[in-house]
Amino acid sequence: MRKTIIVSNRLPVKITRKNEEIVLMPSEGGLATGLGSVYREGSNVWIGWPGQEVSDLAEQEELTTALGKLNLLPVYLTAEEINQFYEGFSNEVLWPVFHYMSTYARYEQSYWDYYMRVNEKFKEAVLAVAEPGDVIWVQDYQLLLLPGLLRTDLPDASIGFFQHIPFPSYELFRLIPWREELLNGILGADLIGFHTFDDARHFIGSCVRLLAFHASANTITVNDRNVMVETFPMGIDNRKFESLSATAGVQNQVQVLGKRFQQMRIILSIDRLDYSKGILQRLQGFDLFLQNHPEYVEKVGLAMIIVPSRDTVPQYKELRDQIDQLVGNINARYRTMGWSPIHYFYRSFPLDILTALYNLADICLVTPMRDGMNLVAKEYVASRIHNNGVLILSEMAGASKELIDAIVVNPNNTNAIAEAIAIALSMPLTEQQQRMKAMRQMVAKFNVYHWVKLFMTTLDDVKKAQQSMQARRISPGMAQEMVHDYVHAGKRALFLDYDGTLVDFNVNREDANPDPDLYKLLNNLASDPQNQLVLISGRHHTNLEQWFGELPIDLIAEHGAWHKLQGGAWTQIPGLTDQWKAEIQPILETFTDRTPGALIEEKSFSLVWHYRKVEEGLGDLRANELMDTLRYYIADKPLQLLPGDKVIEIKNVEINKGKAALAWMKDETFDFILGIGDDFTDEDIFKVLPANAYTIKVGNYVSAARYYLRSFREVRQLLKMLVQEKNALKLQ
């Protein structure tokens, strides 16, 4: 049976020893909860580091057995590996850069060496249990290379990757010395998930700028695989927080804590110690609030929980000292005999106390500088079973994209934080309820189970789409069948596109001229008296004449506006007008003048705006703008807009390769029809040819063609095979 393998840096378990016995405490974290329903089932497994160094082999064996009973499989890391791979590369390179704090990054070569080595180690652990058909789901930034490593060993595996922290803009990401390797690693996955659309967009942007892969909308074509990049905003187990909030135990805690806080209005703040969390700015905002609103002195308390983390790293230690200082300073300035404004805890609490605090707090103040999602915000919302309370949320947290009914603030704007607190404290109950209800609905619908299910079904869909593409790729067996039909056919029609089909795409169109090998191939095909060979291209007819005018083949140029039968003269379709050019040409010129690298090509009945040489990004932006402008201008004209690969073509609507192919065939019948093309415009040919025709798309894109080939090289190979097999038959 196919199984699911989850891989993350840490296993979802806390390990302690009691009287020499190993005690395993399942972790309560959001990810562990969500994936609990997956990894505990059947032969599924979760692979990860157990969270502590275990160097003794006997001890390792004992722990492996104990973990195995919970479907957990440990990857043991040495102290040096933890230090360099985890503390080093993960937390001192990736973490700061991905959280837009690139000045904190330390690009040490040894960090990178260990990062590669440990990702390899994880790969070995996966390979030890993976079987054909298994689904592998890799989690987070510590394992960016793992999908790529797995892809090399398991080319057909179904691999998903989800990143829990932000993916930064290209301008930040490009700073990393090993940026291409990281992207190639991630692209080993079939489905790549992020919390927000911006993260996905940044990732795709980095891929197209740094790697030579083609991206269309949210799909990146990596060699033969279509990789999907999607957003899956992670949720929480909302029911757990709701039901826990309703228990007598938690309600009791709420009473007790309420008394301790002397019935003050409570503002709650919970974070792990981290510079990405905006803790100092939050304190400054609170300071400003007390300064601007002295009426709240003795009436409000900030309960601030900071969970210890990485405090051996100098930056974290420094941050901790700064927080201590600022808290002390604010308390000293505002405190009265019976009241102090900040209740600061540098420790973690059990879940029931945390839930009691969520219940008690009138306001939850979540103002990170950057956060992939931020689950605290969602947990607060889920715990507000009476629909009261106000969430103040940073616009830099992924959660702000969903929780739009929060008071959303820029965390750098301490004035805005201060004002948001004042607004929240005076917000009427009806407005609180209205906002909280909407947020609770959102948190309930997009809960963590929904997240897991959506990711897994999307991964399944992506794999199925890849497989159906694969099934239509011409295999040696399918080629044999085609050869059989070809050699036994009496009369054949062969429609071949040129650019991208018979030759590679070239940045300079004029450089994509035919080579001797291609001439030989076309001559060989054409010399078979049973063949009628038609070169059908968007190129200018004078260009086709120059390159192929002497060949014994038929030519259709400019998408069908012109044609020339063997030995005859060029003829154009009657009744076409090009008067529209006078109006459209100046528009294209304006765009060309504004866009370095762009150029206009004029054909008899079309104008083409090329932007292949324009700076990445700018070209697409201008192309969209041009499309919008042109749509307006052509509305009352018989023209068609054809957006292609870095080109926009405007042509008479009567012209199309499909119509041209049909007109060429007239009412003749053929025993074998072949149509090959790579472009959007070739789809018209595929659509009009009879169902038994061999239609072949070059490239890995959705198409009306029956079959696929990877490149112009494979096209030539196939055509050569047809010639050879036919000749071989003749000799027999």
Q: Would you say 373 or 614 has its CB closer to ligand GDG?
A: 373
- What is the smallest separation between the CB atom of 213 and ligand GDG, expressed in angstroms? 27
User: CA of 241: how far to CAs of 80, 251, 399, 444, in Å?
Assistant: 39, 13, 17, 11
Q: Would you say 270 or 424 has its CB closer to ligand GDG?
A: 270
The backbone torsions φ and ψ at residue 100, rounded to the nearest 5 degrees and listed phi first, read 65, 25
Show Cβ contacts of residue 616 under 8 Å, excluding neighbours closer than 6 positions.
208, 209
**Structure tokens belonging to residue 43:** 């032969």
Q: Would you say 84 or 394 has its CB closer to ligand GDG?
A: 394
- What is the smallest separation between the CB atom of 586 and ligand GDG, expressed in angstroms? 51
Side chain identity at residue 657, one-letter code: K
**Structure tokens belonging to residue 175:** 């700073």
List 164, 282, 384, 463, residue binding ligand GDG (CB under 6 A)? 164
Torsion angle (degrees, nearest 10) of CA 19, 20, 22, 23: 20
Residue among 166, 226, 227, 162 at smallest CA distance from 202: 166
17 CB burial (10 A radius; 0-12, 13-18, 19+): exposed
User: CA of 542: how far to CAs of 277, 489, 656, in Å?
Assistant: 64, 33, 18
Q: Would you say 353 or 478 has its CB closer to ligand GDG?
A: 353
Does residue number 379 form part of the binding site for ligand GDG (CB under 6 A)? Answer: yes
- Asked whether the CA dihedral 270, 276, 280, 284 is positive or negative, the reply is negative
Does residue number 28 form part of the binding site for ligand GDG (CB under 6 A)? Answer: yes
Which residues in 165-184 contact ligand GDG (CB under 6 A)? 165
Which residues in 29-48 contact ligand GDG (CB under 6 A)? 29-30
Q: Would you say 303 or 723 has its CB closer to ligand GDG?
A: 303
- Of 26-34, 37-45, 113-121, 438-446, which segment contacts ligand GDG by CB under 6 A? 26-34
- Of 109-117, 310-318, 374-382, 552-560, which segment contacts ligand GDG by CB under 6 A? 374-382
Cite the beta strand spans of 173-299 per DSSP E: 191-194, 214-216, 219-222, 225-231, 265-272
Does residue number 272 form part of the binding site for ligand GDG (CB under 6 A)? Answer: yes
- What is the smallest separation between the CB atom of 649 and ligand GDG, expressed in angstroms? 44
507 CB burial (10 A radius; 0-12, 13-18, 19+): exposed
Does residue number 371 form part of the binding site for ligand GDG (CB under 6 A)? Answer: yes
DSSP state of 362: S
**Structure tokens belonging to residue 271:** 């974070």
Are the CB atoms for 199 and 231 separated by under 8 Å? yes
- What is the smallest separation between the CB atom of 159 and ligand GDG, expressed in angstroms? 19
Are the CB atoms for 554 and 535 separated by under 8 Å? yes
Show Cβ contacts of residue 92 under 8 Å, excluding neighbours closer than 6 positions.
104, 105, 106, 108, 111, 313
Q: Would you say 350 or 690 has its CB closer to ligand GDG?
A: 350
Cβ of 106: how many Cβ atoms within 10 Å?
10
Kindly write out the interface string for residues 574-613 of this chain, putting x where it contacts ligand GDG by CB under 6 A and - elsewhere.
----------------------------------------
List 142, 281, 374, 532, residue binding ligand GDG (CB under 6 A)? 374
Does residue number 454 form part of the binding site for ligand GDG (CB under 6 A)? Answer: no
List 234, 553, 626, 698, residue binding ligand GDG (CB under 6 A)? 234
Helices within 13-108 (DSSP H only): 30-39, 57-68, 79-81, 95-98
Does residue number 192 form part of the binding site for ligand GDG (CB under 6 A)? Answer: no
- What is the smallest separation between the CB atom of 435 and ligand GDG, expressed in angstroms? 21
List 270, 418, 436, 502, residue binding ligand GDG (CB under 6 A)? 270
- What is the smallest separation between the CB atom of 349 and ligand GDG, expressed in angstroms? 4
Which helix H or strand E contains 21, and what residues bound it? strand 21-26
The label of the residue with tokens 């390979």 reads 127
- What is the smallest separation between the CB atom of 191 and ligand GDG, expressed in angstroms? 16
Does residue number 719 form part of the binding site for ligand GDG (CB under 6 A)? Answer: no
Secondary-structure percent of the chain, ordered helix, strand, coil, rounded to 5: 50, 20, 30
Count of residues in contact with ligand GDG, rule CB under 6 A: 22
- Of 47-55, 223-231, 287-295, 365-373, which segment contacts ligand GDG by CB under 6 A? 365-373
Q: Would you say 346 or 570 has its CB closer to ligand GDG?
A: 346
Are the CB atoms for 501 and 494 separated by under 8 Å? no
Which residues in 315-354 contact ligand GDG (CB under 6 A)? 348-351, 354
The label of the residue with tokens 């260990």 reads 114
Q: Would you say 302 or 494 has its CB closer to ligand GDG?
A: 302
**What is the spatial distance between Cα 297 and Cα 650, in angstroms, rounded to a whole number?**
69
- Of 76-84, 101-109, 129-137, 372-380, which segment contacts ligand GDG by CB under 6 A? 372-380
Please give the angle made by the CA atoms of 66, 68 and 70, to the nearest 5 degrees. 90
Which of 405, 497, 499, 678 does the annotation list as catalytic?
497
Are the CB atoms for 563 and 576 separated by under 8 Å? no
Does residue number 307 form part of the binding site for ligand GDG (CB under 6 A)? Answer: yes
Which residues in 51-110 contact ligand GDG (CB under 6 A)? none
Q: Would you say 138 or 534 has its CB closer to ligand GDG?
A: 138
- Of 25-33, 100-108, 180-188, 291-299, which segment contacts ligand GDG by CB under 6 A? 25-33
Torsion angle (degrees, nearest 10) of CA 335, 338, 344, 345: 160
Does residue number 373 form part of the binding site for ligand GDG (CB under 6 A)? Answer: yes
**What is the spatial distance between Cα 285 and Cα 598, in angstroms, rounded to a whole number?**
49
Q: Would you say 349 or 519 has its CB closer to ligand GDG?
A: 349
**What is the spatial distance between Cα 199 and Cα 229, in angstroms, rounded to a whole number?**
10
497 a catalytic residue: yes
Does residue number 197 form part of the binding site for ligand GDG (CB under 6 A)? Answer: no
Does residue number 12 form part of the binding site for ligand GDG (CB under 6 A)? Answer: no
Does residue number 372 form part of the binding site for ligand GDG (CB under 6 A)? Answer: yes
Does residue number 257 form part of the binding site for ligand GDG (CB under 6 A)? Answer: no
**What is the spatial distance between Cα 340 and Cα 264, in angstroms, rounded to a whole number?**
11
Does residue number 200 form part of the binding site for ligand GDG (CB under 6 A)? Answer: no
Q: Would you say 165 or 623 has its CB closer to ligand GDG?
A: 165
SS (H, E, C) 550-579: CCCCEEEEHHHCEEECCCCCCEECCCCCCC
Does residue number 375 form part of the binding site for ligand GDG (CB under 6 A)? Answer: yes
**What is the spatial distance between Cα 146 and Cα 159, in angstroms, rounded to a whole number?**
10
The contact set with ligand GDG (CB under 6 A) reads 28-30, 164-165, 234, 270, 272, 305, 307, 348-351, 354, 371-376, 379
- The catalytic site residues sit at 497
